[in-house]
Amino acid sequence: MANIIVVGGQWGDEGKGKVVDYLTSRFDVVVRYSGGPNAGHTVRRGDKKFALHHVPSGILTDGVFCVIGNGAVIDPASLVAELRTLEEQGVSARGRLAISQRAHVIVPAYVRKEKTLEESRGEGRIGTTLKGVGPAYEAKAARTGVRMVDLLDAGALHRALSAAVPADEVASTEAALTELAGILKEYIADTTRLLADRMEDGERVLFEGAQGTLLDVDHGTYPFVTSSSAVAGGACTGAGVSPTRIDGVLGVFKAYSTRVGAGPFPTEEKGDRGEKLRARGNEYGTTTGRPRRCGWFDTVLARYAVRVNGIDSAAMTLLDVLDGFDEIPVAIGYRYKGDRIRQFPTEPWVLDSVEPEYTNLKGWRADTTGCRSFEELPRQAQEYIRTIEDAIECDIDMISVGPEPERSAVREVSKLSAWLADGA
């Protein structure tokens, strides 16, 4: 048995959805353990593109059961729309999806609250997606939230809403949620018990994180972070499973770096090469459509992500985006006030002011999208990967060179291949 956590090692948008989609056939259950509709996983299957926000990527693979854990927050209207869109695309969640009773609900008042707060920040805006996710987690911590289990009982829903929203909005919100509850009630379950039973029966579980390590509310670039636990540890609290049931952590890294919204970004490339990265990588947010800020791979940041998550094995996505560059910088350190920094700084004012120290590697100027093994990659691409492996102190066991799942390769002798063999 192999129960694996898939976690983003940068600022989100690393391609976790594609990686999960590629791996799902070796697992029985896929669990989403954090975040809400602010997250977006884009998965391609042939000529179809699926944009998933609540539902785990595993829903696209027949025979795989999916769970939305208690660590997620849910916009019922958005979730119902997502399920209907999947149905229209030929994917049914009936009998294949469970939603935690303990997951918290996003109500319209939270969306308005987040928009008002973000606008009040002026130039200090965080860059939130304005989906009401932050206020939902705020209400959860304040113990005034609405949970999915409340949707199953009229009295419980009324009492929860009376504490959660203005008095003049209780009736309308209650009516809307009651209607949505009629659609969602078949999916609401005690998912902690469900997962425990399935793991006891020897089923293999893949835990799918949202966003990325540097957006984690505790370990990210605070305050420019999300409101939930995006690191691997969040899988245990966000799904209700013991750490002793986890066999490994797979970290997903983009072959370069991107970030959406405000916040420090030491290796951001603001010139023509940044525009070229954006164009070649089609770097626009799945949820918001906003252009992503683009830059070079940052090994200081990635090594920090390896440590915080306990990453055993790494996947590198979008390597093909770098096919068109003659030279590719990789940040191997920072300088701050003349001193060299090799560890990721906690102080925001330091991170805002560091100057990256680069090693410039020769590009390969060759099409990698047809490569299906590490050995098939151009020599310079292999050297690029080895340089990053050495710097982040973690093996890169999976390489992705295109949006489709089949454009991926797992190195034959690796920790990831052993996990997958264990799940065969």
Cα angle for residues 414, 212, 18 (degrees, 5° grid): 55
104 is catalytic: no
13 is catalytic: yes
Q: Determine which one of 21, 41, 75, 312 is catalytic.
A: 41
**In degrees rounded to 5, what are phi and psi of residue 248?**
180, 165
C-alpha of 414 from chain center: 23
**Dihedral of the alpha carbons of 277, 280, 16, 21, in degrees to the nearest 10:** -170
Handedness of CA 45, 89, 205, 148 (dihedral sign): positive
Q: How far is CA 216 from CA 12, 205, 308, 385, in A?
A: 10, 23, 11, 26
Q: How far is CA 103 from CA 32, 41, 129, 212, 257, in A?
A: 11, 20, 20, 20, 31
Token look-up 């669990």 returns: 31
As a whole number of angstroms, the distance between CA 322 and CA 276 comes to 10
- Contact (Cβ atoms closer than 8 angstroms) between residue 74 and residue 50: no
- Contact (Cβ atoms closer than 8 angstroms) between residue 99 and residue 80: no
Active-site positions?
Answer: 13, 41
